[in-house]
C-alpha cells in the first residue's frame, strides 16, 4: 500500500474478517482503503449510500484498490433504528434503479425463496439440523416457500444490523459493508430490521415511513426470511465456537416460530 500512496502516509489494518481493508492518514487527509472491492462501490458512492469514493487504482498483479473518504462518526445505536431516516435510506436503496442495474451487469440474478432455502439448508450441519427448533423451522420454511413469492425484486443489503449504519459527524447516514448484496425480496432487509429493533405494534408506523402498508402476506414474508437468516446465524456462531451467541439465536428462533 505504501508504494501506492507514498512513504509519508501512515497505513494500518482496519480489521475485519478479510484483512483487505486499511486506514491511511497523511496530515489532514484520511482515507479508507480496500483491496478488490466490487465495482458496485462506485454506484453506492454516486447514490450517497456509502462515503464518497475518491479513486480506484489497478495494481500490476491485477488487484484493484479503492479509496473512500474517511469520515468521523459512529454506528447507530439499537434504539435509533426506529428513526425515519433509517426507513427513508432503506427505501432509497430498495428503489434505486442504478444500483439494481449495476448488480445485474455484475451477473447477479434475482433470488427466489426456494434458491435461498436450498443455500441455507446446505450450510447446516447435522448437529444444527437435529435441533428441535431447527426442525420446526425447516418444516415451516418448506411449507410456506411457495406462499412467500413476491414479484418485487430489489437490491438488498442482507445484513442491516445497527453496526452497519454509519452516522457521520455532519449528521449524514450511510449503510456500509455491501459484500453480501443481492437481488431479492425487500423483506430480507425489512424482516431482520423489524424483528430485531422495532416492537411489533410499531411496525405499521415504521413501514409507513418506508412507504408501504402492513398486509398478511408481508408479515408472512418477514417471518419467513427472518427465520431463514436466523438459521444461518446459528450455524455461523457454531462454526466460530461462539456457543452462547448460538444459543441466543436458537432462543430467538423459538420465539419467531
Active site residues: 159
Torsion angle of C-alpha atoms 144, 118, 93, 227, degrees rounded to 10: 50
Q: How far is CA 20 from CA 34, 50, 220, in A?
A: 6, 18, 38
Query: Could you tell me which of 157, 166, 215 has the C-alpha nearest to residue 186?
Result: 157
Task: Tell me how long the chain is.
Answer: 257
Return all residues near 111 (Cβ < 8 A) that are at least 6 apart: 153, 182, 183, 184
First CA to last CA distance, the chain:
49
**Cα 59 from Cα 251, distance rounded (Å):** 47
Amino acid at each position: 500500500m505504501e508504494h501506492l500512496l507514498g512513504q509519508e502516509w501512515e497505513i494500518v489494518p482496519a480489521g475485519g474478517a478479510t484483512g483487505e481493508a486499511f486506514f491511511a492518514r497523511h496530515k489532514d487527509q484520511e482515507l479508507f482503503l480496500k483491496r478488490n472491492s466490487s465495482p458496485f462501490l462506485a454506484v453506492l458512492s454516486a447514490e450517497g449510500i456509502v462515503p464518497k469514493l475518491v479513486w480506484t487504482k489497478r495494481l500490476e498483479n491485477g488487484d484493484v484498490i479503492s479509496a473512500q473518504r474517511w469520515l468521523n462518526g459512529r454506528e447507530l445505536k439499537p434504539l435509533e433504528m426506529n428513526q425515519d431516516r433509517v426507513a427513508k435510506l432503506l427505501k432509497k436503496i430498495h428503489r434505486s434503479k442504478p444500483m439494481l442495474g449495476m448488480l445485474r451487469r455484475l451477473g447477479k440474478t434475482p433470488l427466489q425463496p426456494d434458491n435461498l432455502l436450498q443455500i441455507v439448508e446446505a450450510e447446516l450441519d447435522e448437529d444444527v439440523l437435529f435441533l428441535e427448533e431447527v426442525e420446526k423451522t425447516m418444516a415451516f420454511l418448506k411449507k410456506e416457500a411457495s406462499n412467500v413469492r413476491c414479484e418485487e425484486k430489489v437490491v438488498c443489503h442482507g445484513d442491516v444490523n445497527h453496526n452497519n449504519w454509519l452516522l457521520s459527524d455532519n449528521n449524514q447516514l450511510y449503510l456500509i459493508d455491501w459484500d453480501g448484496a443481492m437481488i431479492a425480496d425487500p423483506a430480507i432487509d425489512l424482516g431482520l430490521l423489524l424483528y430485531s429493533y422495532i416492537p411489533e405494534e410499531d411496525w405499521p408506523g415504521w413501514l409507513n415511513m418506508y412507504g408501504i402498508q402492513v398486509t398478511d402476506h408481508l408479515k408472512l414474508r418477514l417471518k419467513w426470511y427472518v427465520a431463514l437468516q436466523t438459521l444461518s446465524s446459528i450455524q455461523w456462531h457454531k462454526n466460530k465456537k461462539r456457543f452462547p451467541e448460538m444459543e441466543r439465536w436458537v432462543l430467538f428462533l423459538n420465539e419467531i416460530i
